Structure 1
Amino acid sequence: MSIWWSLHLRRDAASVPLARRLLMGTMETAGVDSDVSYDLSVALSEACANAVEHGGATAPDGAPQAYRVTAYLDGERCHIEVADSGPGFTPPRRVARPVASDAEHGRGLCLIEQLADHVQFGSQPGRGGAVVSFEKILKWKKDPALMPV
């Protein structure tokens, strides 16, 4: 089975749960194991929160810029990409590092790296903006609503 969707969302905190709910609903309908769905939804929430917080200045009319979330469930993998229009960043070689337990920032990229099977961080060449891509091998429920092909 292949499912693909893409969202263009305002850089607003209210957009994060929307993206997460859409992903969870898609995976529930497809019959993805709930633990895998949860891991991917947390990783997606962290990537979206980073886009909202660091994704660029406001538009000329004062509205927040947009960011894009794209998800592919294809065969045995789920691939998710979150891209913003901000200044981008120099991708870290390895993100997983200890973060103080009382830190309010700095955990998002570490969580994504720990929850996904493969992660890439980068910037869009010539356009600025950060791109966070990650994927995870899917596991299936015993009786999914839709059967994988």
Structure 2
Amino acid sequence: MNEAITSRVRREFPMCFTATRRGARLARRLVSLRLDEWGHPYGSDLNQDLTLIAAELAANAVRHGLVAGRDFRLRLVETGDGVFRVEVSDTRTERRPVPEHAERPAAGDEESGRGLYLVARLADRWAWTGGPGRPGRPSGRRSGSERARAPPGRGSRVRAAR
């Protein structure tokens, strides 16, 4: 995830949202709408998976990356070779995602720790970067995931983590 997208970007949807629950909800809804407009209907596995990934990453940006008065940024990309990338950036650098949360679901009584588990199960790859900014890119943390479109004939996937 830390490397640049090497194939040609076919379509892109970048947008900033307020770092509130309402902003996270709007990000989720607009990702689903954009995927539908790009030919991936609301009920399709791809639309549902990418919408849930966007929702979890946006919720994490609001909950763990909130800095008063600062927004979070979401970027949805479809590459020429059928890979979709969802990236969410926020302005916090001192709070890091816990990689163990992606490997096991949180216990029933824990308040958090399920979002990255879902992202890891639905995405083909996921990662995060963080640190000081550089020209044209603010400091902060960026989480992202990639998911390839299902090849023809693959059909629906059955997942337990829904």
Fold match by TM threshold 0.5: yes
Partner Cα distance (2:13, 2:131) in 1: 20
Give the corresponding residue for 1:42. Answer: 52
CA RMSD of aligned residues (A): 2.4
Higher mean C-alpha displacement, 84-93 vs 128-137:
84-93
* 2:72 equivalent to 1:67: yes
How far residue 10 of structure 1 moved from its aligned partner, in angstroms, is 1.0
Q: Which consecutive unaligned segments of at least 5 residues does structure 1 have? A: 59-63, 142-149
Task: Tell me the distance in 1 between the aligned counterparts of 2:72 and 2:13.
Answer: 14
Determine which of 42, 60, 63 is the counterpart of 1:53.
63
Whole-Å Cα distance in 1 between the matches of residues 123 and 21 of structure 2? 23
Matches within 5 A, 1:110-129: 110-126=117-133, 128-129=139-140
User: Residue 140 of structure 2 aligns to which amino acid in structure 1?
Assistant: G
Q: What TM-score, normalized to structure 2?
A: 0.74
Gaps of 5+ in 2: 1-8, 153-162
> 1:76-105: per-residue Cα shift (whole Å, max 9, x none)?
111111000013434555531231134331
**Inter-partner Cα distance in structure 1 for 2:22 and 2:96:** 27
- Matched with 2:146 is 135
**Cα offset, 1:4, TM superposition:** 0.6
**Counterparts of 2:20 and 2:66, CA distance in 1:** 12
Aligned equivalents of 2:94, 2:76: Cα separation in 1: 21
Q: Which amino acid aligns with 1:89?
A: R
Q: TM-score, normalised by structure 1?
A: 0.79
Q: Which has the higher contact order (CA 8 A, sep 6+)?
A: 1
SS in 2 for 1:99: coil
Q: Identity of counterpart residues, as a percentage?
A: 29
TM-aligned CA deviation for residue 74 of structure 1: 1.9
| Equivalent residues, number | 137
